[in-house]
Amino acid sequence: MTLQILVYIFVIGAGLGLAVPYGRFMARVFGGERNLLTPVIRPVERWVYKVCGIDENTEMTLKTYILTLLVFELLGAILVFAVMMLQGVLPLNPQEHPALRWDRALNLAVSFVTNSNYQPYVGERELTYMSYMLGVLVQDIISPSVGLAVIVTMARCFSRGSSPTIGNFWVDLIRGMLYIWVPLTLLLVFPLISQGVIQNMNAYVVAHPLEGGEQLIPGGPAGIITAFKLLAEDGNAWSGVSAAHPFETPTGLSLYLHMGYILFVPAAITFMVGWLTKNRKITVALFSTMLLLFALSMPLPFLGEFGGNPLLQQLGVQGGVSMEGKEVRFTLFEHVVFLVTAMAPANGSTLAQLSSVMPLSILQVIFNLGIGAPIFGCIGTGSLTMIHYFIVSMFLAGLMTGRTPELIGKKLDLREVVLACTSFLMSSFTALGFSAIALSTPAGLAAMSNTGPRGLTEVVYVFISTSINNGSFMAGLDVTQPFYNLATILPMLGGRFSTLIVGLLIGGSIARKGKIPISAASLPVASPLFIIFVIFVIIILSGLSFFPVLTLGPILEQLMMQAGITF
Amino acid sequence: MPGKITNVWQPSLIKQAVRDAFLKLNPFVQRRNLVMFLVELTALVVTIIAINDLFNSGNFKLDVQISLWLWLTVLFSNFSEALAEGRGRAQAESLRQARKDAMANKLEPDGKIEQISATRLRKGDLVIVKEGEIIPSDGDIIEGIGLVDESAVTGESAPVVREPGGSICGVTGGTRLISGQVKVRITVNPGQTFLDQMITMVESAKRQKTPNERALELLLIGLTVIFIVVVVTLVPFAHYLNVSIPAAVLIALLVCLVPTTISGLLPAIGIAGMERMLKSNVVALSGRGVEASGNVDLVLMDKTGTITLGNRMATEFIPTEGVTKEDLAEAAMLSSLADDTPEGRSILDLCKRTLGIRGRDIRAPEGSTFIPFSATDRMSGIDIGGREIRKGAGDSIEEYVNMKGGRFSEGTHAAVESISREGGTPLVVAEGSRVLGAIRLKDIVKPDIKERLNSMRKLGIRFVMITGDNPVTAEAIAAEAGIDDFIARASPGAKLEAIRKYQKDGHMVAMIGDGTNDAPALAQADLAVAMNAGTQAAREAANMVDLDSNPAKLLDIVEIGKQLLMTRGALTTFSIANDVAKYFTIFPALFVAQYPVLNVLNVMHLATPTSAILAAIIFNALIIPACIPLAIRGVSYKPATTEALLRQNLLIYGIGGLIAPFIGIKIIDILVIMLNLA
C-alpha cells in the first residue's frame, strides 16, 4: 500500500502542479492575451464571431449578461427537451426507440443544461443517436463552458474599478469551448489511450466465452468521452459502470490518471482567478483551503472502509472488509481515494456502487456535497462557492477585527454578503425540503427498497446530489419513477442558477466599486488563520444544517452496524 | 460629568429596564427584531400547547417549563436593550434637565426684549444672554465675549471663552454664561438641538440601523430560515424512522439553534456604542458615523492643536558673527515688547532667561513707536530713539536690510535654513541695515502623540497632517510626530481637495474641523468630527461633535467604533459556535428512545432526554443576560494587527463558543436533575 500511497500523492501532485501553468494559460485566454494556441485557434474564433454576428469588443452590462445567459440556457433546455420528445420521428434512430416520457425528457433537459448529468436512465436502451448528439454531447461541452464563463466574469469584476459593464457572455463562452475543452481533451486523451483505453469506431464484437453463450464486447470512442468526463467534471461516462469498466481503466496507472485529471481543471481555475485579478494571495487562499478540506475528507472513508463490517466478520469475511459492489481489480485503498477524489469536485465518476461503500464514506461524501462542493468543485461553480464562503467569512472576520470587510481589493457591503449567503444556503434548502417531501409522500416512499437509516440516506443523497449538480445517486432507490424525475428538477435548477446568478450579481456589484489600496490592516486572505476561519464558517454555517440527516442516516447506520443490528 | 455610569448593573436603571422589557413584548415593537419576534411567537405557541396539556393528557410539566424559558429568552433580550437605552437616556437626561426651565431674552426685530420659554426659540431668533444665565439653545455668538461654563455638557469644570467670528463662536444650550454678556443667534429649531439629537441616538425605536448592522441582521435571518427548514424537515425524517417529536420539544430545538444570543443583544450593542461615545464626551449625530469611525484608514489632522501644542515657542537665539547672544536677546526683547501673540510672549520669556532678568516688569521705554505686524511687510518691530529694530521672516528681513543698504549675513542665512530643516520657524532680527541673528521658534509636539499614532498605525490607519507651514518645516514636524504624510502650505480649499483625492483612492477619511471654512471638507469626509466650540456650520456638516473640543479625541472615536464592530462580531461567532453543543444535547435526546445506539452522541452524559432538552433551552436563555455586560461594555480592545485581533477573538469567542455551552449545559443538567424539574 505504501507504493500506492506514493503513486497517489505523485499523481495528485502532478495534476495540481500542472494546474499552475495551465491556470496561467487560461488567464491569458480569457484575458484576451496572446497565448500558445493563438496562431491556431484565433482565426477560428474570429470566424465564429463573424458567422454569429458577435462583436467581441462590446461588453454587456450585468443585466444583459444575466439575461443572455438565462435565455441561452433556456433555449438549450428547450432544444434538448424537444429532441427527446421527438426522437421517435427524428432520423438516426436505427433501433426505433420511441419518444421519452415527458417527465423523463424534462428531467434530462434540465439535468444536462445544469451540468448535473443526473442519469436515471440507461442511455443505449432509451436514447437515439440523434438525442445523444444533440442533447447530451452539445450540453456536455456547453454547460462547463457556462460555468467557466461565470467564474471568469467574477474574477474580471474583481480586477476592475468602477466599471459599468462586466464582459461579453458570448466571448467568454466561445473561448472556453475553443481554447480549453477541445484542445485539452484532444491532448489528454493520449495518456489514457496509451494505457489501453479504447478509442475506435468499431462494431461490437461477439465473443464466445468458455462457459458457452455469447458476450457482446462494445467498441466506441471511450478515450475521448472518458477524458472529457474527467476534465469537465460532468461524470457522463462512456460506460454505465463508469471507471469500473476495464475499457475505461485498463491498468492501475490509468486509474491514477483519472484522479489526476479530475482535480486538474478545477485547480487550474484557482490559479486563473489569481492571474485575472492580479492577486496571487487569492489563489493561495482558494487553493490551500480546498486542499486542506480535501485532505480532511480522507480519514472518515478510510476509517469506514478499513474498519469493515462486524456483520460480515461474523460471516467469515476476513477483517469484515466489504468488497461487495466494488471493482475487485483495485485495492480498497484505491477505492477510498478514488471515491474522495472523484466526489470532492462533484465529478461523480465512480469506481464502486455508491450503495456499496460504508456509511462513514457516504457521510463524508454527503458532507462535501452538502456544503456546496467547494472542494475544487465543478467547473466554475466550485471556485464560485468557495469565494462566496470567503465573502461571508471576510464579513465575520471584519466584524471581529472592527473593519469593513474587503476581498481582493474591493470593499464588501450588505449586498454581497447577503447574496453570498443565499447562494450556499440554497442547497440546504432544496436538499432538505425535497427529501422531506419524498419521505412523507406515498410516491416518494414507493420508490424505496431499503428502510431505516439507509433508506433515509438514499433519499437525502439524491436530493443533495442534484441540488449541487453532481448527479450521482445511490442504488436502492428507484429514481426512474416520475416522482423523482420531477422532484429533482427544482433542486438542479436552484443549485445551478443560485450559484451562477449570485456569482454574476456579486460580480456586477463588485465591478462598480472602486479599487481600494491594500493597507497594513487588510486581513491577509492567504494567512493560515483566515483559512482555518473559512473552514470553521463552512462547517458551522452550512455543514451544521446537515447534522440531523447525517445523524439519522449514515451515523445511525454505522452505529447500528457496529452494534450488529440490522434493519 | 453628572450621571456618568460605570457599573453595568446600576440598580436605579434595572427597575425601569425590567418594566420596559415587558412593554417591548408588544408585537409591534418586537417586530423590529425579527429573530426575537419569532421566539416570542414560539413562546406563545408553546404556552397554548401547555394550556391544552393541562386539560388533556400531555407532558404538561415539560411544556410549561419550555414556554417559561422561551418567554424569558425574549424578556432577557428586551431587558438588555432597555438597559442600554436607560443608560444612554440617563446620560442625556442629566443634560436636558439643565435646559428645561430656562427662559430666554428674545430680541424682537423692533429692539424690544421679550421673555419667552427656551423651548419656543426657533432658528434665526436672536437672544441676549446675561451674566449668570443659562444659554437657552444652541447658537452662535454674534456680539460680545463670554466666559462659558460647559461642565453640564462636557463635564469639564474650567470655563471656556466664546467670542463671535472665528472658530470659537458656538454655544450649546444648557451651558451657563459665567461672565460677560453676549448676543446669540439661535441656529436650531425646537426638538433639533444637540441634546435632542443626542437623546434620539440612544433610543432604540428612533435609532436608524447602520448598513453593517443590517447586513448582520440579514445574515442572522438567513440562518434562522435555514434552521426553520432543518427543524420542519426533521418531522418527516423522524416520522419515517418511527419517532414522533412533541411540538414543544421541536420548538425548543428551533429556538436553541437560531442565533438568539446575538440577535437578542444586537440592539443593545448598538445603543451601548452610542453611549460609550457619549461617555467620552462625543455626541454621535448618526449611527453611520459611529460605524464609519471603525473603518477609517486615513486621518486628516490639522497640525496646530492636534499634533503640536497650540503655539510655537522661542527656544534659541542664534547670533550672527560679531554679535553677542545678549545683544541679540536685548534687541529681540525690545521688538517683542508690544507683541501680544503667543510667539511674542515666548520670545520675551526666552529673553528673560537669557539675560537673567527675573520678575521685572518690562515696559516699553518712553518715546518708542511700535511697528505692528502687517501682512504686507511680514515683520514687526520698534523704533526707539534712533534705533530701528525689526523682526520677521528671513526673506522679508533680507529685503528690509537690503533696502537699508546692508547685507544679509551668511551665518544667519545658514541658521535660518537649519532651523527650517529641523522643523522650527526662524525669525530674523535686524537693527537698521545690520542683521543681528536668528531666533528659533519651535513647534512643540504633544508629548504622547507619537506613541498614540503608532498604536493606531497598527490598525492600518495613516495620518496626514495639514499645515500652512512650508514643506521643510512640515516634514520635520511630521517626522518628529510620526506622521505618514503632510500637506504643506495648505490653502483653505486644500482640505476638501485632499479628502476627495484620498476617497477616490478608496480610503475612508476622517477629519476634525471647527471653522466655517472647514464645513465643506467635513461634509465630504466619511467621519467628520466638529469641535463643540466650533461654528454651527461646522457642527452641522459633521457627523459627530466632540464636546471637549479636543482634536486628539478622534483617536478615541476610532477605537470606540472598532470596539462596537468587534463586539458584534465576537457575539455572533460565539452565538453560532454554540450550536454545535446544542445539537449534541438535543439530538440524541430526541431519538435515543427508539435508537439506543445514538447515546454515543450524548457526549456530555446528560441524565435523561427531558433534562437534556431543558438544559439546552435554559442555557440558551441564560446566556443572554450573561453576555449583557460584554454587550454594554464592549469587548476589550487593544490596538493590534488585524491578524492578531482575529486570532485573539477567534480563540476567545470561537473556541470559547464551542466549549462553553458543553460545560454550561452539563451544569444546568445536573441542577435540573437535583431540583427534580425533569
**Closest residue by Cα to residue A38 from A192, A183, A253:** A183
Q: Give chain B positions within 8 Å (CB) of A521.
A: 297, 458-461, 641-642
Between B316 and A323, the higher pLDDT residue: B316
Q: ∠ at Cα A234 (A230, A236), nearest 5°?
A: 85
Q: Where are the alpha helices (DSSP H) in B314-440?
A: 325-336, 342-355, 394-403, 410-421
How far, rounded to the nearest angstrom, does the alpha carbon of residue A428 sit from its chain's CA centroid?
Answer: 17
Boundaries of CATH 2.70.150.10 in chain B? 122-189
- B227 and A456 in contact by Cβ < 8 A? no
Between A508 and B546, the higher pLDDT residue: A508
Q: Give chain B positions within 8 Å (CB) of A452.
A: 241
Mean pLDDT of A126-144: 81
Mean pLDDT of B256-282: 87
Partner residue facing B226 (CB), from A429, A523, A530:
A429
Could you read off the pLDDT of A413-462 as tens digits, one per residue? 888 999 998 887 888 889 999 999 999 999 888 888 888 888 899 999 99
pLDDT at B18 over 70: yes
Q: Can you tell me the distance from the alpha carbon of B118 to that of B98, in angstroms, rounded to the nearest whole number?
A: 11
**β-strands B126-129, B103-107: how paired?**
antiparallel
Q: Give chain A positions within 8 Å (CB) of B505.
A: 516-517
Q: Which of A399, A404, A530, A538 to mutate to test the interface with B (most CBs of B within 10 A)?
A: A399
Q: Can you tell me the distance from the alpha carbon of B605 to that of B585, in angstroms, rounded to the nearest whole number?
A: 9
Whether A567 and chain B come into contact, CB under 8 Å, resolves to: no
Residue A512, classified by CB atoms within 10 Å of its CB into exposed (0-12), middle (13-18) or buried (19+), is middle
Partner residue facing A540 (CB), from B240, B504, B577:
B577
Q: How many inter-chain contacts (A to B, CB under 8 Å) are there?
A: 198
User: Is the separation of the CB atoms in A364 and A375 below 8 Å?
Assistant: no
Which DSSP string do the residues of B635-667 spell out, in sequence order?
-------HHHHHHHHIIIIIIHHHHHHHHHHHH
- B462 and A519 in contact by Cβ < 8 A? yes
Mean pLDDT of A110-121: 80
Q: At what angle do helices B656-674 and B609-633 cross, to 10 degrees?
A: 130
Q: Can you tell me the distance from the alpha carbon of B207 to that of B216, in angstroms, rounded to the nearest whole number?
A: 16
The whole-number pLDDT of residue B2 equals 36
Q: The complex's ipTM?
A: 0.89
Whether A360 and chain B come into contact, CB under 8 Å, resolves to: no
pLDDT at B99 over 60: no
Could you read off the pLDDT of A262-300 as tens digits, one per residue? 899 999 999 999 999 998 999 999 999 999 999 999 999
Mean pLDDT, chain B, rounded, equals 82
Partner residue facing B583 (CB), from A417, A455, A547:
A547
Q: Give chain A positions within 8 Å (CB) of B595.
A: 556, 559-560
Active-site amino acid positions of B: 302
- Residue B314's SS3 state is strand
Q: Give chain A positions within 8 Å (CB) of B227.
A: 545
pLDDT at B1 over 50: no
CATH number of B310-444: 3.40.1110.10
The whole-number pLDDT of residue A78 equals 93
Q: Give chain A positions within 8 Å (CB) of B585.
A: none
- B646 and A541 in contact by Cβ < 8 A? no
Helix or strand (DSSP H, E) at B300: strand B298-302
CATH number assigned to the domain with residue range B284-307+446-547, chosen from the 4 options 3.40.50.300, 3.30.565.10, 3.30.1330.10, 3.40.50.1000 = 3.40.50.1000
**β-strands B298-302, B462-466: how paired?**
parallel
Cell numbers 469565494: residue: A387
Whether B238 and chain A come into contact, CB under 8 Å, resolves to: yes
Percent of chain B whose predicted confidence (pLDDT) is above 90: 20
Could you read off the pLDDT of B487-514 as tens digits, one per residue? 887 776 788 888 888 888 778 888 887 7
CA distances from A92 to A89, A123, A126, A128, A131 (A): 9, 15, 13, 7, 9
Confidence label for B280 from pLDDT (cuts 50, 70 and 90): confident
Mean pLDDT of A86-114: 84
Whether A376 and chain B come into contact, CB under 8 Å, resolves to: no
CA distances from B568 to A60, A399, B206 (A): 39, 7, 20
User: Is the separation of the CB atoms in B438 and B415 below 8 Å?
Assistant: yes
Side-chain-side CA neighbours of B452 within 13 Å: the count stands at 16
How far, rounded to the nearest angstrom, does the alpha carbon of residue B312 sit from its chain's CA centroid?
Answer: 29
Confidence label for A189 from pLDDT (cuts 50, 70 and 90): confident
Contacts of B370 (CB under 8 A, 6+ apart): B337, B338, B364, B380, B381, B382
Beta bridge pairs of residue B104: B116
What chain B residue is nearest to A459 in terms of C-alpha separation? B237
The whole-number pLDDT of residue B3 equals 40
Q: Give chain B positions within 8 Å (CB) of A519.
A: 297, 460, 462
Does the pTM exceed 0.90? no
Q: Can you tell me the distance from the alpha carbon of A235 to that of B673, in angstroms, rounded to the nearest whole number?
A: 54
What chain B residue is nearest to A419 in terms of C-alpha separation? B219
Mean pLDDT of B206-234: 86
Confidence label for B166 from pLDDT (cuts 50, 70 and 90): low
- A425 and B225 in contact by Cβ < 8 A? yes
User: Is the separation of the CB atoms in B526 and B293 below 8 Å?
Assistant: no
Phi, then psi, of A439 in degrees rounded to 5: -80, -5
Mean pLDDT of B583-589: 89
Q: Which of A363, A393, A394, A401 to mutate to test the interface with B (most CBs of B within 10 A)?
A: A401
What is the residue type of B113? Answer: I
Whether B367 and chain A come into contact, CB under 8 Å, resolves to: no
For the ranges A27-41, B119-133, B184-198, the lowest mean pLDDT is seen at B184-198
Contacts of A360 (CB under 8 A, 6+ apart): A300, A301, A303, A304, A305, A307, A554, A558
Boundaries of CATH 3.40.1110.10 in chain B? 310-444
Boundaries of CATH 3.40.50.1000 in chain B? 284-307+446-547
Whether A517 and chain B come into contact, CB under 8 Å, resolves to: yes
DSSP count for chain A of H helices, then E strands: 25, 6
Could you read off the pLDDT of B255-265 as tens digits, one per residue? 999 999 999 99
Q: Can you tell me the distance from the alpha carbon of B329 to that of B148, in angstroms, rounded to the nearest whole number?
A: 39
Q: Give chain B positions within 8 Å (CB) of A563.
A: 597
Helix or strand (DSSP H, E) at A421: helix A414-440
pLDDT at B623 over 90: yes
A91: region left, alpha or beta (phi > 0 left; psi from -120 to 50 alpha)? beta
Q: Can you tell me the distance from the alpha carbon of A156 to that of B270, in angstroms, rounded to the nearest whole number?
A: 37
Portion 408-437 of A in contact with B at CB < 8 A: 411, 413-414, 417-418, 421-422, 425, 428-429, 432-433, 435-437
* DSSP character at residue B393: -
Portion 454-473 of A in contact with B at CB < 8 A: 455-456
Q: Which of B241, B254, B296, B594 to mutate to test the interface with A (most CBs of A within 10 A)?
A: B241
- B215 and A395 in contact by Cβ < 8 A? yes
CATH number of B122-189: 2.70.150.10
Partner residue facing B569 (CB), from A396, A411, A425:
A396
The whole-number pLDDT of residue B72 equals 95
User: Is the separation of the CB atoms in B232 and A436 below 8 Å?
Assistant: yes
C-alpha cell of residue B53: 396539556
Mean pLDDT of B395-402: 85
C-alpha cell of residue A70: 438565462
Confidence label for A223 from pLDDT (cuts 50, 70 and 90): confident
CA distance B595 to chain A (A): 8
SS (H, E, C) B463-525: EEEECCCCHHHHHHHHHHHCCCEEECCCCCCHHHHHHHHHHHCCCCEEEEECCHHHHHHHHHC
Portion 486-515 of A in contact with B at CB < 8 A: 514-515
Residue A272, classified by CB atoms within 10 Å of its CB into exposed (0-12), middle (13-18) or buried (19+), is buried
Q: Give chain A positions within 8 Å (CB) of B594.
A: none
Which runs of E-coded beta strand occur in B81-165? 103-107, 113-117, 126-129, 139-143, 146-149, 160-162
Between B562 and B532, the higher pLDDT residue: B562
Q: Which of A403, A408, A440 to mutate to test the interface with B (most CBs of B within 10 A)?
A: A403
User: Is the separation of the CB atoms in A286 and A23 below 8 Å?
Assistant: no
Q: Can you tell me the distance from the alpha carbon of A84 to that of A131, in angstroms, rounded to the nearest whole number?
A: 6
- A401 and B566 in contact by Cβ < 8 A? yes
Whether A401 and chain B come into contact, CB under 8 Å, resolves to: yes
